[in-house]
Structure 1
Amino acid sequence: MSDLATVLIFTYRRIPKKLIESLKANKISKYSILYIFSDGFKNETDKEDVLKVRKFIKNIDGFKRVNIIERKRNYGLSSNILDGITTIIKKYGKVIVLEDDLIVSKDFLEYMNEALDFYKNNKQIWSIAGYSPPLKCLKSYNKDVFLAPRVNSWGWATWKDRWEIVDWDIKDWEEFKRSKDSIRKFNFGGNDLYKMLELQMLGKIDSWAIRWCYNQYKYGAYTLYPKYSKVKNMGFDSLGTHNNIKNDKWFVDISNKKIKLEHVWPDEELISCFKNYHDLSFYSRVGYLLRKYGGYNVAKKIIKMLKLK
């Protein structure tokens, strides 16, 4: 294995204790450089949690070097990630990106670094995913990795040459939204993709991930997924910035099974299965309409209250 990728953690109100413990269980963590970006608090209510996070991260060890960036103001998740990755990837050329609500396998860093080295010259691969959804079709799939036309932000990695060509402003939006064929192709990764991008362009959401995903589509690229998930998301709680309603659909068991890397090509049957898994449910469609036309936050609070009863 050549030089190890720099690891980036983005945090806000949640103390990333479980994530750090799981990373330190990786044999090569002590050889890895870690950057932690602690976002500034939005208000006095969040201040106490942010200060607790900063107290915790100042005592982290078990890595080659720990660098802490404390934001003096609240950037928000999207800006914090975009600025952080852009700054670090210019210096190191490749990054592994994590958020504070994740837990990783004991070989997560090994898998990520090996995949970054193995696929670095394959420009068809846009990023490496650590999380993999529990697709039933994977049970009969005979390889350890597969390609999907959708990025995943729950533990992932990429290279400088992919990151630097991204158009974060989506300058071709007006042209794209008028092309039914382009929208259909973009939605090969799930029919929620166009709707999320639309909400982004309308200013209804602030997502770096959907813009990252759209640029992958524009370049005809894919994300490489492991058959066995190396990441679990624990962020469906009150501390989550976006995912704060529990959803068992995305639950997986973390696998420590060795991933065999090999050159793979898009599998139409698997991509169809992947798309069906990500397609919007009835309730998600309603959520999209509420976001677009108003009432989403009120509806989310009501649902949350009903689930707590």
Structure 2
Amino acid sequence: MKDWQLKTPVVFLIFNRPDTTEKVFEVIRQAKPPKLLVVADGPRVDRPEDIEKCAAARAVIDRVDWDCQVLTNYSETNLGCQERVASGLDWAFDNAEEAIILEDDCVPHITFFRYCEELLEYYRDDKRIMVISGQNVQFGRKRCDYSYYFSRYNHIWGWASWKRAWEYYDFDMKLWPKLREDGWLKDILTDPHFVKVWTYAFDSVYNGKINTWDHRWTFSCWINSGLTVLPNVNLITNIGAGRDDATHTKKVYAYSSIPAEEMTFPLKHPDFMIRDAIADDFSQDLYYDYKAKFWKRVRIKLQNILKIQDSRYKIQ
């Protein structure tokens, strides 16, 4: 890493948490990107304390002390999660052909940046790949002998992508009603239970019951048969889960506390591009089963505890 220098722009999504913003910023500072694009939402009208907190989070960016072009896209009003992130990434990809993206509570291992940059270059012209993610929720299970594998799930706790992929982002999910009627998800997901889970999720977002941008991104990737690259070790730790000021992660889940590890180089690339169905099934059960019954959640958590006790991981 000593002879390597990051060349890829970094997009930093911030809001009202100066403490977590500072921790992520310190790792960005170590990586020294040549361009830093900062997207910030504005204070909420019904939360007067947001004014000071948002200002403090933005003040962290003033600490840039390396040779860096800093571009800011700060909203003076509160747009909400889905609109602010979506419009912010639209702006970012108007200013960069490819970028590494971090939210204010996703602390990366320093090797995350090189991992993203090398794979952004490696798959730059391969439209089958839409996302490079730094998140791994396999709890130490090595799914292959390579540095990474392929997934349908575009985990967004630390990721990277290209303008050519983000151009497919469909904020309005225009095709969802027709695809829902046609039973399209049955072609994507083989388990009828998860067809129901994702139908519920997409319905909730489409109908405005859930204010989030990431399910819209998942939908956009799936309708374009896009794959995500996932590392064989976890490169991101989320420090925002369980906090009162968390937007969507007010509960602490087992996968929230997986520590970040080092990616080794040179990267070992897979010889073929096939989605890892076993890894996806594991992620599906653990990560996306929003309507799982209580005892199923207990069983999954116990299995993970037993696995973690045989490794360095600890569920907090």
TM bucket by the smaller chain? Answer: 0.7 to 0.9
Distance 2:172 2:293 in 1: 26
Contact 1:148/1:274 (<8 A) preserved: no
Q: Are 1:265 and 2:269 counterparts? A: no
Distance 2:5 2:52 in 1: 41
Q: Are 1:5 and 2:11 counterparts? A: no
Compute the TM-score of the two structures, normalised by the length of structure 2. 0.81
Distance 1:213 1:131 in 2: 15
Q: Which residue of 2 aligns with 1:113?
A: 117
Change (3 A) 1:19 1:214: same
Contact 1:148/1:271 (<8 A) preserved: yes
Change (3 A) 1:188 1:67: farther
Residue 248 of structure 2 aligns with an amino acid whose one-letter code is H
Residue 269 of structure 2 aligns with an amino acid whose one-letter code is E
Q: In the TM superposition, what whole-angstrom CA distance separates every residue of 1:176-208 from its partner, at most 9, and x where no partner exists?
A: 11233x223444699343322110112101221
Distance 2:211 2:112 in 1: 28
- How far is 1:134 from its partner? 2.7
Q: Which residue of 2 aligns with 1:253?
A: 259
Residue 165 of structure 1 aligns with an amino acid whose one-letter code is Y
SS in 2 for 1:139: coil
Distance 1:175 1:96 in 2: 33
Deviates more, 1:192-201 or 1:100-109: 192-201
Instruction: Describe how 1:1-309 pairs up with structure 2 within 5 A.
Output: 4-15=7-18, 16-26=21-31, 29=32, 31-43=33-45, 44-62=48-66, 64-135=68-139, 138-139=141-142, 141-180=144-183, 182-187=184-189, 191=194, 192-236=197-241, 237-258=243-264, 260-263=267-270, 264-280=273-289, 282=291
- How far is 1:276 from its partner? 2.8
Distance 2:292 2:281 in 1: 21
Contact 1:186/1:214 (<8 A) preserved: no
Tell me the matched-pair count: 280
Change (3 A) 1:272 1:134: closer
Change (3 A) 1:50 1:3: closer
Compute the TM-score of the two structures, normalised by the length of structure 1. 0.82
Distance 2:5 2:23 in 1: 28
Contact 1:42/1:74 (<8 A) preserved: yes
Unpaired runs of at least 5, structure 2: 295-316
Q: Identity rate of aligned residues, in percent? A: 20
CA RMSD of aligned residues (A): 2.4
Contact 2:153/2:218 (<8 A) preserved: yes
SS in 2 for 1:204: coil
SS in 1 for 2:95: helix
- How far is 1:254 from its partner? 0.8
The structure with the greater share of residues assigned to helix is 1
Distance 1:212 1:131 in 2: 16
